Structure 1
């Protein structure tokens, strides 16, 4: 596993040094990681990257080379550098299970640890969870538009660097893609890898027909031909059908054709008709070319005869929403043996955090098993499921709802306790299955691409009162 201890911002280290110099580096702090807006103005976010957070924490250790580099900066004394030599994580981390659907302002990761430790890990956790959650959510939106058609992730060459390509493809599969063109992702995470040939393959041969024959000879039972190198309908498709006939004569059946340019709606309809007339109704049509959820939705509504979608640039970069914007905010600090809630104020009400050591509970309907609302509570609060549960809007408090036939589920689960791993590890295939179950537990109006219904996320009365009391107290302090 890679040691990413130095994957941090400099100010994390300068704050750690300040804590150390002030002899408060062992004081316990509580931080929440959360985001404020769903990507692409959507209705939900799929959380990904938790497995990488586990790897990061388990390998958190400053090497001799790290210490030498930090010494060279002339920012840190030898006493602090000596402290770093034996540095390790000893606190607790709770997080949602990877693949969980979450909503703005809900804690995704909750850290309770000595100040220096809790501070250091902020940047890496944000880096890992922000990016992969963004791409998993984008992939989920793309797959939703495909409405059950297979979607392949093709974005490696357009990703912003090798790590973005590697982990972006991983996240795309969690979000619903059937596989990836990225061989390293396939190897690292035991995922299906997909792909056939490029236009350059066709260009290398004297004729398109020869190129198709050579590929079919190499892969007679996996023949999918890219037919738009020269002219899709006048040469590409007729030559493909000739090769398909030859394959069939030798006891093999072709898989499909792919188009990567042109009017995908018109071409797919023409291709389908010609293939059917030629006796190949089972040959699949794959389309690529700067697709995203909006383009796929439009093509589907126009009746395009596309069976499989290859999505690259706009998926791996989440082109319309380039970052999730998750944050990591202090919510409590241990003072005189007691956790004291902390709050950050802002002129923008959306940037005022929810204070305290909290849990997040999801409320399900017992009859439908569908999620109906989330409730943020202080960790010592409980719910009696034998009694009606009343919740209210955290801003428009007169808006209330009472649940009768319900059950609840805590979303934050232990990841590390006393620095030791306290959870199961999951393969990407298992995380993908869990993410699909999560989506199945929500009504379609929360998942739709455009103008989704807003899912209810409420505060318990006790947390709501705490938040407002702290706001008023801070206002008085400023007067």
Structure 2
């Protein structure tokens, strides 16, 4: 069984029907976010690289067919028409790291209809979860205002894979390291960690614990100082560091209490002991809001370790996202449902400095001075270039943030930019709506339904 079966059952039932009906013409689906979560001025596009890995290896095998049949309570022969189905379509997408806004497609898939349908769920899980976590992590970097931020989220994320993704996304937006050893090794990013309160409690007293830890780690060490009394813990740490002639690269960590006040007292104690180069790390339920408060208050904290609230994007853990059919067999289509209407046809987003993004048709000419956000990243089921790098994604994010209005970068009550629709897309949308409504009225009249009243 492969990742092909990581899908909703209705994707399978629809794909089976399409195959049975001979509906294999090219279909385009658009994946986008309807509305930004509360208190978000932007989103950071993320999750594309693992999504492309999935599409590159997508093939319905015999075991997948058996699992589909079992889930449907149908004989295997009924599902066998899906056997051997591979993804050989085209993908256009916003590269990781770019900032995106409501209504703008993150990704569009054009492939034979059964293929494009079956990959929906997996693509949504990858892009939506990673975009929402990356966006919160980026806000932590903004709040830290140049101070280092480290990922401590692994133990509180929704499973090891989510923990890996959180570490990767932190690196993508500029975190200085992660506590996740596996992620650090796979991604080539710094691993960072200190000690737990249990370590201190295992020794007769705090100073003995610090000395034992320093003996085990001859390089720079970080002491957790708030297991018992924080002021005494800082004093013990300072004494041990001076006795062992440690300083440069070492740190103390505050994990609870009034972090701002404690950091000020700790800084005074360390400075008085001649340990001006010992850093202060803060952790314990931090996210961009807490970091912003501490930074604005002038807390002498050098490194912010963020965990639970960031790794699960606690205040906005999901996106109001959709993956909608916008064209089939050359025919533009759209959904007319109240409050969930969609726009037809494959699309492009045009970005111009100092102006609102324009959502237009894929084949529109570029407006003067505009750059397109979506590029073709897969053709014929294969990548069009090598995998992207975290450094490239970070550079794109930094460049977009530099051009983002200050009101959108605010931590509290941000004002997200609102994209506009091009004239060509607006006209096509009106035409398609008219065609659908006319067809519905004609069908209703043909079946004896009520005729529209002339006005």
Shorter-normalised TM range: over 0.9
- TM-aligned CA deviation for residue 63 of structure 1: 3.1
Given the superposition, is the C-alpha separation of residues 21 and 175 from structure 1 closer, same or farther in structure 2, using an over 3 Å criterion? same
Distance change >3 Å, CA 82–CA 309, structure 1 → 2 = same
Equivalents in 2 of 1:342, 1:77: separation in Å? Answer: 34
Partner of 1:236: 233
Against the structure 1 CA distance between its residues 439 and 74, is the aligned structure 2 distance closer, same or farther, given a 3 Å change threshold?
closer
Counterpart for residue 445 of structure 2: none
Deviation at 1:314, TM superposition (A): 0.4
Picking from 140, 143, 153, the partner of 1:142 is 140
1:4 deviates by 1.4
Deviations 1:79-131 (A, max 9, x none): 55333332111111111111111011111101111110000010000000000
CA contact (8 A) 2:104 2:349 kept: yes
Q: What secondary structure, in the 3-state scheme, does the structure 1 residue paired with 2:359 have?
A: strand
Contact kept, 8 Å, 2:247 with 2:278, in 1: the verdict is: no
* C-alpha distance after superposition, 1:174-208 (max 9, x if no partner): 23321111112112222221101111111111111
Contact kept, 8 Å, 1:189 with 1:427, in 2: the verdict is no
Inter-partner Cα distance in structure 2 for 1:300 and 1:73:
53
> In the alignment, does 2:308 pair up with 1:313?
yes
Deviations for 1:259-287, whole angstroms, at most 9, x for unmatched residues?
10111111011111111111111111111
Q: Match for 1:187 among 168, 185, 189?
A: 185
TM-score w.r.t. the length of structure 2 is: 0.92
Shift of residue 441, structure 1, vs aligned partner = 3.1
Task: Decide whether aligned partners of structure 1 residues 179 and 449 sit closer, same or farther in structure 2, where only a CA change above 3 A counts.
Answer: same
- What's the counterpart of residue 457 of structure 1? 419
The separation in 2 between residues aligned to 1:139 and 1:215, in whole angstroms, is 31
Residue 76 (structure 1) shift:
4.9
Task: Give 1:11 deviation, angstroms.
Answer: 0.4
Give secondary structure in 1 for the equivalent of 2:356.
strand
Give the one of 262, 276, 283 matched to 1:281.
Answer: 276
Q: Who is 1:46 aligned against? A: 44
Once residues 77 and 26 of structure 2 are traced to their aligned partners in structure 1, the CA distance between those partners, rounded to angstroms, is 21
The whole-number CA distance in structure 1 between the counterparts of 2:248 and 2:428 is: 67
1:324 equivalent to 2:319? Answer yes
Cα pair 1:5 1:59 within 8 Å, conserved: no
User: How far does residue 220 in structure 1 lie from its aligned partner after superposition?
Assistant: 2.9
1:5 matched residue in structure 2? 4
SS in structure 2 of the partner of residue 68 of structure 1:
helix
TM-score relative to the length of structure 1: 0.88
CA–CA distance in structure 2, aligned partners of residues 76 and 128 of structure 1: 30
Distance in 1 (CA, whole Å) between partners of 2:338 and 2:218 is 65
More displaced, 111-120 or 177-186?
A: 177-186
- Cα deviation for residue 62 of structure 1 reads 2.5
3-state SS of paired residue (1:376): strand
Task: Give the secondary-structure state (helix, strand or coil) at the position aligned to 1:326.
Answer: strand
Does the Cα contact within 8 Å between 2:224 and 2:252 map onto a contact in 1?
yes
1:346 aligns with 2:344: no
Alignment of 1:252-267 (within 5 A): 253=248, 255-267=250-262
**For the residues of structure 1 that align with 2:378 and 2:31, how far apart are their CA atoms?**
15
Query: Do the aligned residues in 2 keep the contact of 1:414 with 1:423 (CA within 8 Å)?
Result: no
Alignment of 1:300 with 2:295, yes or no, is: yes
Find the aligned partners of 2:67 and 2:292 in 1 and give their Cα distance.
51
How many residues were matched structurally? 441
Q: 2:210 touches 2:240 (CA, 8 Å); kept in 1?
A: yes
2:75 and 2:21 map into 1 onto residues whose CA distance is: 13
Distance 1:99 1:296 in 2: 22
2: CA distance, partners of 1:381 / 1:433? 27
Shift of 1:410: 1.1
Give RMSD over aligned pairs: 1.9
Unmatched segments (≥5 aa) in structure 2? 442-451
> Which has the larger displacement, 446-455 or 135-144?
446-455
How many Å apart are 1:75 and its aligned residue?
4.6
| C-alpha contact 1:96 1:413 (8 A) present in aligned 2 | yes
> For residue 380 of structure 1, what is the aligned residue in structure 2?
363
| Change over 3 Å in CA distance of 1:67–1:471 after alignment to 2 | closer
Distance, in Å, in 1 between the alignment partners of 2:9 and 2:394 is 35
Q: Secondary structure at the match of 2:4?
A: coil
C-alpha displacement of 1:223: 1.1
Alignment of 1:159 with 2:150, yes or no, is: no
Which residue in 2 is equivalent to 1:221? 219
1:198 is aligned to: 196
Q: Once structures 1 and 2 are overlaid, which stretch shifts more, 37-46 or 194-203?
A: 37-46
How many angstroms apart in 2 are the aligned matches of 1:171 and 1:285? 24
d(CA) in 1 for partners of 2:77, 2:69: 11
Is the contact between residue 29 and residue 323 of structure 2 (CA under 8 Å) also seen in structure 1?
yes
Residues 51 and 426, structure 1, Cα contact 8 Å, conserved in 2: yes
Q: Is residue 2:105 matched to residue 1:107?
A: yes
Moved more, 206-215 or 432-441: 432-441
C-alpha distance after superposition, 1:201-227 (max 9, x if no partner): 111111111110111122232111100
Partner of 2:96: 98
Matched, 1:410 2:372: yes
